[in-house]
Amino acid sequence: MGYIFNNLDEVWELLLQHMQMTLITLAIAVLLALPLSLLIYRYRWLNVPILGALGVFYTIPSLALIILFVPLLGLNAQSVIAAMVLYTQVILVRNLVVGLQAIPPAVMEAARGMGMTSWQRWWQVQVPLILPVFLAGLRLSAVVAIAIATIGAKFGAGGLGTLLFDGIAQAGRYDKIWAGAITVSVLAFAFNGALLTLQWAVNPTRKLYKSKGKVRQHLASATES
């Protein structure tokens, strides 16, 4: 901890680099995962080939996956981000597909019967129902991305992994190693906690119980009066 307090500017800069890589990765990953999931949901036969291919990429060690992108994108953060995006696809796509397929057909039929357009059914019915499942996948993806971004320091991407690798290279610099490990752990816990809170907040079941509680209170007050 002493190294962190004595070198706040350096640690803060590396933390910002790490967060930037993670946020860019999650943004690109979601933009790719959403159309893929809708495609699988519409054409069920694509489930096995697409998720199978993404699963194969997920089994490749992260270090090897980054190396595969180096000849194409260079020894920089772009190669690391590309590997992170590919790594998180299987998690996001699988969760989105599961969320979409879990929506009861009767709910969609009722929405059509009410005269809702495709966009209205998507935004007002499907999105609220799949949001908790999607956020669960995004939470796991964020933790995975933070871990891989740490390795990215070996490829000139910067980030908190720089402290770890510098500490290993400079024999005996356990203060740097501990500073990097602690800061990465805190960042992972922060992302996980924030997304877990958001997942809890948007859960339709919680809102339903809350509404029932208000109805009971209203009935109780009406009975007393």
Lowest-confidence segment of 21-25, 133-137, 168-172 by average pLDDT:
168-172
Q: Is the pLDDT of residue 82 over 70?
A: yes
Q: Is the pLDDT of residue 143 over 90?
A: yes
Q: Is the pLDDT of residue 148 over 80?
A: yes
What sections of the chain are H helices per DSSP? 2-6, 8-42, 47-59, 62-73, 77-101, 105-113, 118-121, 127-151, 161-169, 174-201, 204-224
Return the CATH class of domain 2-195: mainly alpha
Q: 189 pLDDT band (50/70/90 cuts)?
A: very high
Q: Is the pTM of this model over 0.95?
A: no
Q: Give me the pLDDT at residue 22, please.
A: 94
Mean of the pLDDT values across residues 47-69? Answer: 90
CA-nearest of 105, 130, 118 to 199 is 130
Average pLDDT value over all residues in the chain: 86
Of residues 209 and 125, more confidence is placed in: 125
Contact indicator for 157, 150 with CB cutoff of 8 Å: no
Q: 225 pLDDT band (50/70/90 cuts)?
A: low
